[in-house]
């Protein structure tokens, strides 16, 4: 009996890891058959190996949530595969980004696991994020109507992706201390600066996450109503104020009005999806690169095109499991701060996925948000993996707590 409750809880197991490895072995091998390059053959061996080390080895390095790790690895590697198929150079870069992202993820996990006091760190992060968000306004160049990138030499950086983490940490810490006003002030400031950068997709994301965190902390229905009304008002104001918002909404309502001009992106995305149909056209046989920004905003359409709608639903399921797992971690957490942090991270990933995939399938107007883990881009990859790292940190704290309780119970202690 003692073994029963004392045994470690089940892990996703080897079969799942084997399935993930097999998937990428076959994927890259297929690409190698197509182009016959040694690099592709090398990747067919390397990527499954890296996944093996990343999933099985990582759990030895720090106490981690195996399911989150396996699903995240799958999605990241899927991004590398699709990018490598369309543009080998971008695929290789993305693989590098993935490596950097994993390192950052481990760092984030350790931070959440071991940092005991957040007060000064929070103040520091708040100041830092204000500075970071001002940078592109001063040094940035306008691309696609928004001014949200800074350029250092050859490298470009999107500060809003990094501030995302600060927002999650600061707002959940402030709310766990019941400091509602500073939390409101900080999230309002971030939102205002993003509006100034005209980066409305990210602003929407921040707004949604802040609203969800406030609701979690207070449970006030009035707040949700006000929030939704505010979002509606903000959207209307944005629609009236910014020309590029007006244009995007018009494209969303009827992209078929101008299939060669304004509606080209979304029309090509939709056509690529239906060309794939339920089973896809087959890896390496599509022509998804006709979609502008196929590597970034429309990567989900590319996946649907080559792998099919059924596979798209499978990928969606994986995101959904990440979200469900994240919320499980939040609910199991023992302190308000970590609970809010996990909930915020999960909401961030969920909303981001919803906003961009919804844009791809014309459910909502398209915004320039990246698809977590899959989209091409260093900053995006790193920040998504850092968010997972924060979640892992909370998960490992929970695990440690349960272990402690179990030990106490096994010793027959824990009495008053």
In the complex, minimum distance from the CB of residue 342 to other proteins, in angstroms, rounded to a whole number: 9
* Nearest CA among 187, 166, 203, 165 for reference residue 387: 165
Nearer to other proteins, 75 or 146 (CB): 75
* Nearest CA among 84, 75, 2 for reference residue 41: 84
Nearer to other proteins, 149 or 337 (CB): 337
Nearer to other proteins, 19 or 127 (CB): 19
Q: Are 140 and 197 in contact (CB under 8 A)?
A: yes
In the complex, minimum distance from the CB of residue 90 to other proteins, in angstroms, rounded to a whole number: 21
Among 55, 346, 367, 392, which residue interacts with other proteins (rule: CB under 8 A)? Answer: 346
Binding to other proteins by CB under 8 A, coded x per residue (else -) over 106-145, reads ----------x-----------------------------
Nearer to other proteins, 150 or 342 (CB): 342
Nearer to other proteins, 62 or 215 (CB): 215
* Nearest CA among 172, 211, 110 for reference residue 336: 172
* Nearest CA among 186, 229, 235 for reference residue 210: 186
Window 243-302: residues binding other proteins (CB under 8 A): 256, 259-260, 264, 267-268, 270-275, 277-287, 290
**Residue 245 token pair:** 């918002």
Task: Collect all residues with Cβ–Cβ distance below 8 Å to 371 and sequence separation of at least 6.
Answer: 299, 300, 352, 353, 356, 357
Nearer to other proteins, 135 or 328 (CB): 328
Window 21-80: residues binding other proteins (CB under 8 A): 22-23, 26-27, 30, 33-34, 36, 67, 70-71, 74
Considering only 38-46, 89-97, 182-190, 306-314, which stretch makes contact with other proteins by CB under 8 A? 306-314
Window 308-337: residues binding other proteins (CB under 8 A): 308-321, 323-325, 327-328, 330-332, 334-336
Question: Which H helix or E strand runs over 305?
Answer: helix 299-307
12 secondary structure, DSSP code: -
**Residue 307 token pair:** 């792998």
User: CA 47, CA 30: separation in Å to the nearest integer?
Assistant: 14
Nearer to other proteins, 185 or 313 (CB): 313
Window 207-246: residues binding other proteins (CB under 8 A): 212, 215-217, 219
In the complex, minimum distance from the CB of residue 142 to other proteins, in angstroms, rounded to a whole number: 29
Buried b (16+ CB within 10 A) or exposed e, 222-247: eeeeebeeeeeebeeebeeebeebee
Nearer to other proteins, 193 or 209 (CB): 209
In the complex, minimum distance from the CB of residue 256 to other proteins, in angstroms, rounded to a whole number: 7
Instruction: Tell me: does residue 401 bind other proteins (CB under 8 A).
Output: yes
* Nearest CA among 163, 241, 245 for reference residue 209: 163
In the complex, minimum distance from the CB of residue 73 to other proteins, in angstroms, rounded to a whole number: 11
User: CA 300, CA 281: separation in Å to the nearest integer?
Assistant: 15
Alpha carbon 127 to its chain's center? 24
In the complex, minimum distance from the CB of residue 384 to other proteins, in angstroms, rounded to a whole number: 16
Alpha carbons within 13 angstroms on the beta-carbon side of residue 214 total: 25
């Amino acid at each position: 009996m003692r073994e029963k409750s004392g045994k470690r809880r089940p892990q996703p197991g080897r079969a799942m890891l084997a399935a993930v490895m097999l998937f990428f072995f076959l994927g890259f091998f297929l690409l190698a058959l197509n182009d016959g390059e040694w690099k592709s053959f090398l990747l067919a061996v390397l990527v499954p190996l890296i996944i093996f080390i990343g999933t099985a080895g990582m759990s030895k390095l720090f106490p981690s949530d195996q399911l989150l790790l396996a699903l995240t690895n799958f999605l990241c590697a899927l991004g590398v595969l699709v990018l490598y198929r369309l543009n080998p150079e971008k695929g290789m870069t993305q693989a590098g980004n993935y490596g950097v992202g994993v390192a950052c993820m481990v760092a984030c996990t350790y931070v959440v696991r071991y940092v005991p006091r957040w007060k000064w760190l929070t103040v520091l992060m708040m100041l830092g994020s204000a500075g970071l968000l001002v940078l592109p306004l001063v040094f940035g160049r306008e691309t696609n109507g928004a001014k949200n990138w800074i350029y250092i030499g050859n490298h470009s950086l999107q500060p809003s992706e990094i501030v995302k983490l600060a927002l999650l940490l600061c707002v959940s810490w402030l709310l766990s201390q019941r400091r509602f006003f500073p939390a409101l002030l900080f999230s309002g400031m971030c939102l205002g600066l993003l509006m100034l950068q005209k980066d409305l997709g990210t602003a929407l994301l921040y707004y949604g996450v802040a609203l969800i965190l406030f609701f979690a902390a207070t449970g006030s229905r009035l707040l949700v109503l006000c929030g939704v009304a505010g979002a509606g008002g903000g959207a209307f104001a944005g629609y009236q104020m910014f020309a590029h918002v007006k244009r995007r909404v018009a494209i969303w309502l009827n992209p078929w009005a101008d299939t060669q001009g304004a509606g080209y992106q979304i029309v090509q995305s939709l056509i690529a999806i239906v060309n794939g149909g339920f089973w896809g056209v087959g890896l390496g046989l599509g022509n998804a690169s006709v979609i502008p920004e196929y590597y970034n905003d429309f990567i989900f359409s590319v996946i649907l095109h080559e792998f099919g709608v059924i596979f798209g639903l499978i990928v969606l399921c994986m995101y959904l499991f990440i979200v469900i797992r994240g919320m499980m971690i939040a609910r199991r957490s023992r302190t308000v701060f970590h609970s809010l942090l996990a909930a915020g991270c999960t909401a961030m990933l969920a909303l981001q996925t919803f906003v961009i995939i919804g844009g791809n399938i014309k459910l909502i107007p398209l915004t320039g948000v990246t698809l977590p883990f899959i989209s091409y881009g260093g900053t995006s990859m790193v920040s998504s993996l850092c968010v997972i790292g924060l979640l892992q940190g909370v998960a490992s704290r929970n695990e440690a707590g349960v272990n402690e309780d179990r030990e106490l119970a096994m010793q027959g202690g824990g009495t008053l």
